[in-house]
Amino acid sequence: MNIAKYALSNKVVIHFFLVVTVLGGIWSFPKLGKLEDAPFIIKTAVITAVYPGATQYEVEELVTDLLESSIQNTRGLDYLKSESRPGRSTVWVNIKLDTPPEIMPQIWDELRRKVNDAEKQLPEGAYVVQINDDFGDVYGIYYSLTADSGFKYSELKHYAKFIRRELVTIPEAAKVALYGVQEEVINVEISQEKLASSGIHPQQIFATLRGQNKLVYTGNLETPNEEIRVTSDGTFKSIAEIENLVIEGQSEGLFKLGDIATLTRAYRYPALTEFRTNGLPAIGIGISTAEGQNTIVLGEKIRQKLEYIEEQLPVGIEIQGLYHQDKVSVDANRDFMINLVLSVGIVVAIILLAMGARAGVLIGSSLVFSILGTLLLMYFTGIQLHRTSLAAIIIAMGMLVDNAIVVADNAIIGIAKGQKKKDALINGAYTPQWGLFGATIIAVLSFMPLYLAPHSTAEIIAPLFIVLAYSLGLSWLFALTQTPLYGEFILEGPKEGSEVEDPYSKPFYVKFKRFVEGCIARKWFTMGIVVVVLVLSVFGYQSIKRSFFPNIDKAYFKVDYWLPEGYNINRTASDMKQIEDFLRTKPELRNVSISIGSSPLRYYLASTSFSLRSNFANILVETVDGESAVKLLDELEKYINENIPDATPIMFRFKVSPHPDAIIEPTIVGPDPAILRQYGDSIKAIFRAEPKVRNIRTGWGNKSMTWGPIYSQTKGQGAGVSRDLMANYLKMITTGIGVGYFREEDENIPLLLKDKDWKNFDYGNTGGLQVYNPEGKSVSLEQVIDGYDIHWENKVIRRYNRARALAIQCDPVPGVENPEIEAVVMPKINALALPDGYSIFWDGIFEDQQLSQEAIMENLPLALILMFAILIVLFNSIKKSFIIFLMLPLIIIGVVLGFLLTGLSFGFFAVLGLLGLLGMVIKNAIVLLEQADNEMKENGKSRYEAIVLAAQSRSLPVIMASGTTILGMFPLLPDPMFGSMAATIMGGLFVATLLTLIVLPVLYSIIYGLKK
């Protein structure tokens, strides 16, 4: 099949499809969905259950273990992690990373059924609060609603709910969530003196409140024609109605609740979470983008809606933007267009300089058609524009002209040899047609291990593989159709009457041929030099910095702020006020938002999330630019370490990958917390001896104080007071006893019964607290207890796959990467002699890196086998295929050179570039060896002459193809994310090009035993 001949014989058909490609590509670009990062599913669900009054050990045994037992046979389960705290259990269900995204909804449905079944077996009083399978939802457009001191918090909350109602109507918005909303309560504060004088005991108040406010179904009245609903109204409509609730005392007197108690509307104390922005109380508002929708369009519609909303807000209530994924996407698309123009300009400029203006226009036009065609295919297959797909287009930029360069160069040489222009164009495309096709397939296959990786990596990188397949496939098709078609009127034909010149008689070609012949004549010396350089490069690799996932250049940073276990949210909030005041003195600051008590809404996909913790806060800081963010991060860390010494601030710059709980995280597994702590201390000592680590901590935190009365069975039963009753009355001086709800609009506001002195209770006189038995007789607390217990305990019990697990954590100091620390501490930690039944595994970023690398390498053999098979089909020769594969290890020379010159770190994206480099090198080798075969078949050359002439004649196309790719990567070199990939390709391809033109002929001569 001669595709070029068909194209020149059916020009109307080809022109039609070229016009469709141009118009379709231009039309598609603004319509493509746009995101910051390639979407992928975080395959984690979080189950939260409560068991009020239970210790952490009771929660572990009676709640956590039961839930884990029911969940452990969930389809596709990878591992379980859990945390048991007093009264609260949290279980993280992690599904295998290679689970197809499309079956995740079925797995979550199955999980819900298992948890619902398990809930029926929980002890009385324990229940499941939430099964959160939306753990990975990203609220990429994140606002804050603030109120100045002239407004009540209830007003702020009212306007936040109003804004949510308005924004949720936007079609492109999937969800609108609020963060930091304080829970309103009604405190029923009772005076012990008034209770005694009225003869009323608290159980009467419990029963009366619950009975009055309970919703009861009262049935229907049936008439001959109608069914009439019967209501039994009487639920509380106002606080005044609750105050007027009549309660009968023991002396048969009637009292209003307001006579013996004070009712006040307030907010739960202590709060579970708080939120502040720029020094003001705030509520976070996060909006997620609906699947397949354009984030930029959503962002614009939100801003339009907010213009209307802001007109409804009073002065002093303000909406402030915290994080805008849409603006990041706009910036990314702008940078893409700049890089696109730069890359096209660089490629065309190189071609113009090396091959002349006509060839430059011809080959440059092929590049434009390939890019526009790729955009059109992306639109029809639902691939959005984001960091990964844009990178694929940039990677492909230099490779897209390779096929067109070969075809155009063949045609130009044919014309120079006296062929008719049309014949030269057809022959120039037809001769390498299948060789270029095979080379293109191999270039695509080099990225296949990423696409097939059994890991979330595959979801992130899959668009890169597909976009490269589209673009490189189109470049091959356009090289065989558009290039001959346009070449017919762009290229000059042979001049009549002019002598036919040997195109390879120019000085460059002559000198290059002599050089190749010299290398072949000294083939063992040449290969000896190459081997020595390769060995030196392997040693040089040890000097390269390594960072698996790079930081992203954002004008943001964030801090996970930890106080010792046992600190309350009031202390955490006080520290945040101090830090906030420090930050607001900095001129480079734009915004600071602080989430106290838990992580904020997930506004960025690659972020860590923590559930409720009173000793935790998250700080998000926005500065004027990325450089200022780095500077202020260092200043803030220094300030916290000097002024709040008991805090542990974990400082983060944004990365493209999810960040684990800690960078370095060996985890000890075993049954006894004391032994876990003992060996945990040994590991901490190893960390402390290493000056390049910081933030040494454990996943369980420190031990914290516990205080409580010791219930006496003898005294309690004699007084008619059970342990449960005693615990309830203790709640009257702490968080309050829930006795019902006051329903208002869409909210159920808890009614909490408390002692009137609960805020200022004298804990030294706890023994005098009155406790009532079911008959209404009161006794003091000290009459039913045997004293008090004060001790230090593990407030948190964490488990891994149902076994207790203590993680010892630390992070490298700035400028040091985890491999350097791991090389020092891992042998020491792994050498610890643990008792039977105990073991250590490595979590943290080490596990993430291992899993990612193993996932990529898993399908590399398959890709190499397919590449080798294609080479055998192309050449019908194992020897030639083997020669090409022998070239691949030599790539390391250029890769090491590239990193040593640029000073960049080798990481995940460098691996990505390395895989792409394999395809590029094989492609160049195919071009050269195919030309050698043609010299033997068509011109009767000997094998020696054929390989030398092939190196000579293919030198320009190979150098041009590599040069355009190398310089096309140049705009990516400063990019913090793709810079290492660019360095890999630029350095590797530069050296590989020299090796292809020089070492490949030498290897060929060795394998075939050639001499001049």
Instruction: Say if residues 395 and 468 touch (Cβ distance below 8 Å).
Output: yes
Mean pLDDT over residues 783-795, rounded? Answer: 89
pLDDT of residue 18: 93
pLDDT surpasses 60 at 498: no
| 733 CB-side CA count, 13 A | 20
Largest separation between any pair of C-alpha atoms in the chain: 131
Confidence of residue 817 (pLDDT cuts 50, 70, 90): confident
pLDDT tier at 59, thresholds 50, 70, 90: very high
Question: Of 699, 694, 701, 703, nearest to 669 (Cα)?
Answer: 699
Residues 6+ apart with CB under 8 A from 285: 142, 143, 144, 145, 160, 163, 164, 167, 176, 177, 178, 179, 319
Phi and psi angles of residue 83, each rounded to the nearest 5 degrees, phi first: -140, 125
3-class SS of residue 281: strand
**pLDDT for position 278:** 94
Q: Is the dihedral of CA 957, 960, 962, 965 positive or negative?
A: negative
Residue-wise pLDDT tens digits, 356-413: 788 888 888 888 899 899 999 999 988 888 878 877 887 777 677 788 888 888 888 8
Contacts by 251-255, CB closer than 8 A, 24 or more apart: 251/199, 253/198, 253/199, 255/198, 255/200
CA 806 to CA 980: how far, in whole Å? 35
- The sign of the torsion formed by the CA atoms of 97, 98, 100, 105 equals negative
Closest residue by Cα to residue 807 from 683, 649, 671, 646: 683
Residue 250 has pLDDT above 90, yes or no: no
CA dihedral 727, 723, 793, 64 (to 10 degrees): -90
Pick the closest to residue 697 from 585, 810, 591 (CA basis): 810
Structure tokens at 796: 């948190």
Residue type, 153: Y
DSSP 3-state assignment of 498? coil
Please compute the mean of the pLDDT values over residues 264-284 and round it to a whole number: 92
* More confident call, 275 vs 403: 275
Contacts of residue 147, defined as CB under 8 A and 6 or more positions apart, other chains included, come to 153, 155, 156, 280, 281, 282, 316, 317
- Please tell me the least confidently modeled range out of 143-152, 406-415, 633-642: 406-415
Q: Residues 357, 974: contact at Cβ < 8 Å?
A: no
CB 490 within 8 A of CB 366: no
Separation between Cα atoms, residue 818 and residue 831, nearest integer Å: 19
The per-residue pLDDT of the chain, averaged, comes to: 86
Banded model confidence at residue 218, pLDDT cuts 50, 70, 90: low
| 538-564 pLDDT per residue, tens | 888 888 887 777 777 788 999 999 999
User: CA-to-CA distance for 561 and 40, rounded, in angstroms?
Assistant: 28
Percentage of the chain with pLDDT > 90? Answer: 36
Instruction: Determine the 3-state secondary structure of 969 from DSSP.
Output: coil
Measured in whole angstroms, how far is the alpha carbon of residue 177 from the centre of its chain? Answer: 20
Using the predicted structure, report yes or no on whether residue 496 has a pLDDT greater than 70: no
Mean pLDDT lowest for which of 4-8, 966-970, 992-996?
966-970
R_g of the chain computed on alpha carbons: 36
By CB atoms closer than 10 A (0-12, 13-18, 19+), residue 367 is: buried
For the cut 60, the answer to whether the pLDDT of residue 146 exceeds it is: yes
Cis peptide before 270 (omega within 30 of 0): yes
- How many Å apart are CA 147 and CA 282, to the nearest integer? 7
DSSP one-letter string for 810-833: EEEPTT--HHHHHHHHHHHHHT--
Q: Kindly report the backbone phi and psi dihedral angles of residue 570, in degrees, each rounded to the nearest multiple of 5, phi listed first.
A: -70, -40
364, 365, 367, 342: which is closest to 351 by C-alpha? 364
Band of residue 81 on the pLDDT scale cut at 50, 70, 90:
very high
Q: Using the 8-state DSSP alphabet, how is residue 996 labeled?
A: I
pLDDT for the residue numbered 123: 92
The strand pairing partners of 602, in sequence order, are none
Strand (E) positions, 554-613? 556-562, 589-596
Q: What is the mean pLDDT of residues 485-498?
A: 76
- Type of residue at 183: E
Let me know the angle formed at the C-alpha of 44 by 40 and 50, rounded to the nearest 5 degrees. 150
Which of the two residues, 41 and 569, has the higher pLDDT score?
569
Task: Give CA 220 to chain center in angstroms.
Answer: 55
- Looking up tokens 């002195």 gives 757
CA–CA separation, 951 and 936 (whole Å): 14
**pLDDT tens digits, 331-356:** 766 776 777 677 777 777 877 777 77
CA–CA gap between residue 424 and residue 431 (Å, rounded):
10
Neighbour-count burial of 714, counting CB atoms closer than 10 A to its CB (0-12 exposed, 13-18 middle, 19+ buried): exposed
Which is more confidently placed, 500 or 283? Answer: 283
User: Is pLDDT above 80 for 248?
Assistant: no
pLDDT tens digit sequence for 711-726: 888 888 888 888 888 8
- Give the residue carrying structure tokens 């009020």: 52
> What is the sign, positive or negative, of the torsion defined by CA atoms of 575, 577, 582, 586?
positive
- Give the CA angle between residues 713, 718, 722 to the nearest 5°: 55
Q: Residues 397, 367: contact at Cβ < 8 Å?
A: yes
The one-letter amino acid at 506: K
Look up residue 564 and give its DSSP letter. Answer: P
Band (pLDDT 50/70/90 cuts) for residue 497 is low
Predicted local confidence at residue 351, as pLDDT: 76
Q: Measure the CA angle with vertex 77, ends 76 and 80; round to 5°.
A: 170
* Residues 6+ away with beta carbon under 8 Å from 87: 50, 51, 52, 53, 54, 59
The residue-averaged pLDDT of 640-663 equals 85
Q: Find where tokens 């480099």 sit.
A: 917
The token duo for 723 is 């342990």
Distances, alpha carbon 948 to alpha carbons 207, 316, 634, 853, in Å: 101, 80, 59, 40
pLDDT, tens digit, 9 for 90 and up, residues 428-450: 888 888 888 998 999 888 888 88
* Cα–Cα distance for residue pair 407/428, rounded to 1 Å: 5
Position 251 confidence tier, pLDDT thresholds 50, 70, 90: low
Closest CA to 85 of 661, 931, 799, 585: 799
Residue 290 carries which DSSP code? Answer: P
Contacts of 630 (CB under 8 A, 6+ apart): 557, 653
> What is the structure's pLDDT at 48?
93
What distances in angstroms separate CA 283 from CA 159, 176, 640, one per listed residue? Answer: 10, 13, 25
Q: 113 φ, ψ to 5°?
A: -65, -40
- Tokens for 753, please give them: 């019964």
Burial 546-556 (b: 16+ CB within 10 A, else e): bbbbbbbbbbb
> Could you tell me whether strands 44-50 and 88-95 are parallel, antiparallel, or unpaired per DSSP bridges?
antiparallel
943-953 vs 908-939: helix crossing angle, rounded to 10: 130
Distance CA 857, CA 866 (A): 15
pLDDT of residue 457: 65
Strand (E) or helix (H) holding 458: helix 456-480
pLDDT at 252: 61
Distance CA 288, CA 610 (A): 19
Residue with more model confidence, 184 or 758: 184
Residue tagged 């910051």 (tokens): 36
Least reliable range by pLDDT among 162-176, 383-397, 839-853, 869-883: 383-397
Mean pLDDT of 779-792: 88
